[in-house]
Chains A and B, each alone.
Chain A
Amino acid sequence: DAGVIQSPRHEVTEMGQEVTLRCKPISGHDYLFWYRQTMMRGLELLIYFNNNVPIDDSGMPEDRFSAKMPNASFSTLKIQPSEPRDSAVYFCASSIGLRTGELFFGEGSRLTVL
């Protein structure tokens, strides 16, 4: 398997623009997670899905953030409008189970909002 695939790897945009990050989990994994990593706050869980259904979105910072998982092989994280404080590395991860499965991360999408 190719692992968790994220795109784009790098995104530079201007404040106010819409940003869409994409993720393809490992086939057969029924949990998908979106994390954000910054130097100041480390890794933060934004939202996670089980069988394409959002389970906990309490980590989503504001209404400007939204995430969808229309099918088992694709998820998006959207920021609209983007702000400079959203600059971070956004990771997607998947696992086959929560208690027993290893967590596999993608390479991340580095977002810079000017």
Chain B
Amino acid sequence: KQEVTQIPAALSVPEGENLVLNCSFTDSAIYNLQWFRQDPGKGLTSLLLIQSSQREQTSGRLNASLDKSSGRSTLYIAASQPGDSATYLCAGLSSGSARQLTFGSGTQLTVLP
């Protein structure tokens, strides 16, 4: 059974800092991995989707990587801004069933002005 872990649970950084959020998964037979952002009282917003055949995806200041052999994905945020403050979740799909889309518990990021 796939398990997805995100450490740390919370992170606080000063504005302008580059940072990395970590996501680890136990089942390397993964089809895709998706990063989401959740603001308080809101739904999840898709940030980046990495297919198993890809190593990374980029969108603006965000870059996500996927290393299946080590069971790790990272989300890199460049030049962080207070508006980046949110909870970031990763989710891995490890089979053809949506039942196997497993979410991490998230990292709560605070960017201080």
Contact = CB atoms under 8 A, between A and B. Distances in A.
Contacts of A48: 98
A99 B96 contact: yes
A101 B45 CA distance: 14
Contacts, number: 54
B80 interface: no
Interface string B4-39: 000000000000000000000000000110101000
Interface string A42-64: 11010010000001101100000
Given A45-B99, A102-B49, A91 B43 contact: yes
Contacts of A106: 43
Query: How big is the B interface, by class?
Result: 20 to 34
Interface residues of A, number: 25
Given A33-B98, A99-B96, A104 B46 contact: yes
Interface in B64-81: none
A100 B32 contact: yes
B43 A105 contact: yes
A104 to B, nearest CB: 6
B86 to A, nearest CB: 14
B31 A99 contact: yes
Given A56-B97, A56-B99, A107 B51 contact: no
14 contacts: A42-B106, A43-B89, A45-B99, A58-B99, A93-B44, A98-B96, A98-B97, A100-B32, A101-B49, A103-B44, A103-B46, A103-B101, A105-B36, A107-B43
Interface of B: 31-32, 34, 36, 41-46, 49, 51, 89, 91, 93, 96-99, 101, 103, 105-106
